[in-house]
Amino acid sequence: MATRIQAILLLQVILLIIPSSHAAGIAVYWGQNGNEGTLTQTCSTGKYSYVNIAFLNKFGNGQTPEINLAGHCNPAAGGCTTVSNGIRSCQSQGIKVMLSLGGGVGSYTLASKSDAKNVADYLWNNFLGGKSSSRPLGDAVLDGIDFDIEQGSILYWDDLARYLSAYSKQGKKVYLTAAPQCPFPDRNLGTALNTGLFDYVWVQFYNNPPCQYSSGNINNIINSWNRWTTSINAGKIFLGLPAAPEAAGSGYIPPNVLTSRILPEIKKSPKYGGIMLWSKFFDDKNGYSSSILKSV
C-alpha cells in the first residue's frame, strides 16, 4: 500500500515539474476583422494558447511603418493604444501574444542588411522591450514577432530574425514565430527558418493544393507535415488551417477528419506543437476550435 502511495506522489511531483508550455495548443490570428471581438474577449474564451496580432503590413525600404487592424481601431489617430489592455489580459493567462509582420496585402520588404537592423530596432522600441513616444499598441510589451511574409524581397529576413533574437539578451526573451506556406522550402522564409532561431512555426497547409488536404485525401498533407518536421530546426511546428471553408480558397479540413485521421498521425512527431487557425473571425463563425480543442 505504501509503495502505491509513493508511486502516486512521485507521479504528482513529475506532473508539477513538467512545464505546461509543452502542452499542445491552438494559435490564432486576430486583427483583420472588427467583428471578431476584442483581444481581451479572444483570450478569455480559453481556447487559444497563442495570439498573433495581424498585421504590421507596411515597413522596410525607408517607409514609415504602419499597422493595420481593420475595423478594430485607427492607429493613425493613436486609437489602438488601448490594445495594450488586451495584451496584458492575455499574458496574465499565460497566452503568448505576437505582432505579425506582413500578410497577403501590404507594402513591405527589406532592402538590405542595414534595413533589417532598422526594422528590428523599430520593432524593439515600439512593440517589445524598448522605449518610444509613439508605440502604436500602447505600452504593453509583446512576447515576440511573427513572420507572415508572402511578398516583397526574399532576402534579409534571416538578418531580421538574428537582430530581433539578439534583443533577448536584454532580459525578456523575444519569441520568433513564422507562418510559411507548405511547399518546402518556403520561398520567402526558407533562409530565415534555417537560422534555427524560431520558437514556433505554423505552416499554412491551405491555398497550396500539392501539400494540403483535399476531399478524403490525407496523403499530401501528411507527407508535407513529415517533411517540415524532419527538415527544419525549430522549437515546435503547428498545422496551420482555415477555421472555416470561406477562410481560404482551399484546404479546409472538416473537424471530424482532423481529429480522427490527421491529428493521430501528426502527433507522432516530437515537433508537434498544435494547430494554427486563420482566423478568430472565421473561428467564431464556424466554432472550429471548440470542436477540436479536446483532441489537440
Residue 113 CA to residue 124 CA, distance in Å, equals 17
Residue 144 CA to residue 42 CA, distance in Å, equals 18
Pairwise pLDDT comparison (243 vs 14), residue with the higher score: 243
- Does the pLDDT at position 187 exceed 80? yes
Q: Is 66 a catalytic residue?
A: no
- Does the pLDDT at position 111 exceed 90? yes
Is residue 21 very low, low, confident or very high in pLDDT (cuts 50, 70, 90)? very low
Is residue 18 very low, low, confident or very high in pLDDT (cuts 50, 70, 90)? very low
* CB-CB neighbours of 114 under 10 Å: 11
What are 265-293's pLDDT values in tens digits?
Answer: 999 999 999 999 999 999 999 999 999 99
- Which cell numbers hold the place of 62? 525607408
CATH 3.20.20.80 fits 25-291, yes or no: yes
3-state secondary structure of 171: coil
User: Of 36, 150, 246, 265, which residue is the catalytic one?
Assistant: 150
The whole-number average pLDDT for the span 226-246 is 98
What are 31-70's pLDDT values in tens digits?
Answer: 999 999 999 999 999 999 999 999 999 999 999 999 999 9
% the chain with pLDDT above 90: 90
Domain ranges of the chain: 25-291
Is residue 5 very low, low, confident or very high in pLDDT (cuts 50, 70, 90)? low
The whole-number average pLDDT for the span 248-265 is 98
The whole-number average pLDDT for the span 138-151 is 98
Residue 42 CA to residue 281 CA, distance in Å, equals 10
- Does the pLDDT at position 212 exceed 80? yes
Is residue 171 very low, low, confident or very high in pLDDT (cuts 50, 70, 90)? confident
- Does the pLDDT at position 260 exceed 50? yes
